[in-house]
């Protein structure tokens, strides 16, 4: 049973500008080590980070909470399996809230072009 759907769109140029202006601050507050390593390994780092940012936003929207109730950006981690398929893991306050809602599966789809990145997240009970 689907209990939440979220979608988000990020302008990749805006992410690139944020990384140029506030690289360390953005990286530390929003992304984990694994997300940074993956994105930097792919070249065009800002495209991959923009997609991950969109996935985090889409997750918060799917919960119906936004970034609230004590959750942080780093509570949501976007990873890729061996085949390249993205998946989300959650921890801390995001895990507590998702568990209280009965979330058992998190589905995520990412896309990006030179201009925009998008993500869709579906929460299943």
Q: What DSSP state is assigned to residue 125?
A: -
96 vs 27: which has the higher pLDDT: 96
Tally of structural domains, the chain: 1
Contact 76, 97 (CB under 8 A): no
The answer to whether residue 68 scores a pLDDT higher than 90 is no
Confidence of residue 43 (pLDDT cuts 50, 70, 90): confident
| Spatial distance between the Cα atoms of 120 and 76, rounded to a whole number of angstroms | 14
Question: Which whole number is the average pLDDT over 48-59?
Answer: 97
The answer to whether residue 6 scores a pLDDT higher than 90 is yes
Backbone φ, ψ for residue 28 (5° rounding):
-75, -35
Please report, rounded to a whole number, the percentage of residues in the chain having pLDDT higher than 90. 88
Note down the domain range covering 45: 2-124
- Cα-Cα-Cα-Cα torsion 83, 86, 89, 90, nearest 10 degrees, comes to 170
* pLDDT, tens digit, 9 for 90 and up, residues 80-92: 999 999 999 999 9
Q: Tell me the catalytic residues.
A: 61, 112
Per-residue model confidence (pLDDT) at position 67: 83
CATH number, domain at 96? Answer: 3.90.470.20
Per-residue model confidence (pLDDT) at position 26: 87
CA angle 48/51/52 to nearest 5° reads: 90
Per-residue model confidence (pLDDT) at position 16: 94
């Amino acid at each position: 049973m689907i209990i939440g759907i979220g979608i988000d769109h990020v302008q990749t140029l805006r992410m690139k500008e944020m990384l140029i202006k506030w690289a360390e601050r953005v990286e530390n507050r929003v992304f984990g080590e694994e997300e940074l390593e993956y994105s930097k390994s792919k070249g065009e780092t800002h495209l991959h980070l923009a997609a991950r940012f969109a996935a985090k936003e889409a997750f918060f929207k799917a919960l119906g909470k936004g970034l609230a109730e004590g959750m942080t950006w780093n509570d949501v981690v976007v990873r890729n399996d061996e085949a390249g398929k993205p998946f989300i893991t959650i921890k801390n306050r995001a895990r507590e809230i998702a568990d209280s809602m009965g979330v058992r599966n998190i589905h995520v789809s990412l896309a990006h072009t030179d201009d925009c990145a998008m993500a869709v997240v579906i929460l299943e009970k």
